[in-house]
Amino acid sequence: MAERNIVLNIQDVNKTFGGLKALSHVNLQIEEGKTHAIIGPNGAGKSTLLNVCIGRLEPTSGSVTFNGEILTGKAPHEINQAGVVRVFQTPEIFPELSLLENVMIPALSKRDGAFRFNPFRRLADETDIRDEAESVLRDMGLLEQKDHHAGSMSRGDKRRLELCMGLVQHPRLLLLDEPTAGMSRADTNSTIDTLKRIKERGMTKVIIEHDMHVVFSLADKISVLAQGAIIAEGPPDEIRGNPKVQEAYLGGAHE
């Protein structure tokens, strides 16, 4: 059997807010090139876990390692430059800028680094970055809207735009928080197809998602988080057949 290459190693992570224990002894290993889904009810600690991974929150104890490098204690921009990119649950876009400009800015920031990036440069002069941004928008079906103001888009299209803003950074690990939230079923299926193509290119992904159609379409492995702790983990068929998971998270065996 080939040796597993662990890209992200979350070891015994705990996070408390006052008297509230948001994460309790969480251990996760994310394999290179795989799609790992984290599911669970609202308040289970899923987004808190991602925030610990990207440096927005410091764990109370435990550590996060990415390709052998300890991320715990690093600033978010340092973790981003290392190749870890998160797409947030609430779209974080520049509403007054065009779709194309929204995608070009993170590409430029990734290329130039956090302290060398000049947001006031003439974006029109960056032809290579522009071509790359248009290619990503094309993949997500948004190229025809590239000159529209991002703030005028539907919530589903804003979610797709932010996914473009993540992909254009060429992440080594992509963290997706509810990537299809607010999308129509057609847009959701289109996004699933895009994420499958990304997987074929070998990109490693962690997905938090409530839509089980998305989870079972994409995940190689699923971890179930409840009250801050992992209660089940395994391949999709194993999780689908777990009676406790069915009852608590999938709506019963009929699902």
Q: What is the pLDDT of residue 3?
A: 54
CA distances from 89 to 122, 141, 155, 158, 163 (A): 30, 20, 11, 11, 11
Q: How many residues does the chain have?
A: 255
- Asked if 181 and 149 touch (Cβ cutoff 8 Å), the reply is no
| SS3 state at 50 | helix
Taking the C-alpha atoms of residue 132 and residue 126, their distance in angstroms, rounded to an integer, is 10
Q: What local confidence, expressed as pLDDT, does residue 115 receive?
A: 52
Residues 6+ apart with CB under 8 A from 72: 58, 59, 62, 63, 64
What pLDDT does residue 253 have?
42
Which helix H or strand E contains 103, and what residues bound it? helix 99-112
First-residue to last-residue Cα distance in the chain? 33
DSSP 8-state assignment for residue 250: I
* Helix 127-139 / helix 155-167 crossing angle, nearest 10 deg: 130
The answer to whether 239 touches 248, Cβ cutoff 8 Å, is no
pLDDT tens for the chain, 255 residues long, are 445 799 999 999 999 998 899 999 999 999 999 999 999 888 889 999 999 999 999 999 999 999 999 999 999 989 998 999 999 877 789 999 999 999 998 888 888 765 555 655 666 678 889 999 999 999 888 999 999 999 998 888 888 899 999 999 999 999 999 888 878 898 888 888 888 887 777 889 999 988 989 999 999 999 999 889 999 999 999 998 888 777 665 554 433
C-alpha torsion 70→170→151→51, nearest 10: -10
pLDDT of residue 43: 85
- Block residue for tokens 């997706």: 176
| 239 membership: H or E segment, kind and range | helix 236-240
As assigned by CATH, the class of the 1-83+210-255 domain is alpha beta
The predicted-structure confidence for 1-51, as pLDDT tens digits, reads as follows 445 799 999 999 999 998 899 999 999 999 999 999 999 888 889 999 999
Structure tokens at 114: 């956090």
- What CA–CA distance (Å, rounded) separates 165 from 173? 14
Q: What pLDDT is attached to residue 91?
A: 74
Are the C-beta atoms of 54 and 40 separated by less than 8 Å? no
d(CA 253, CA 234): 17
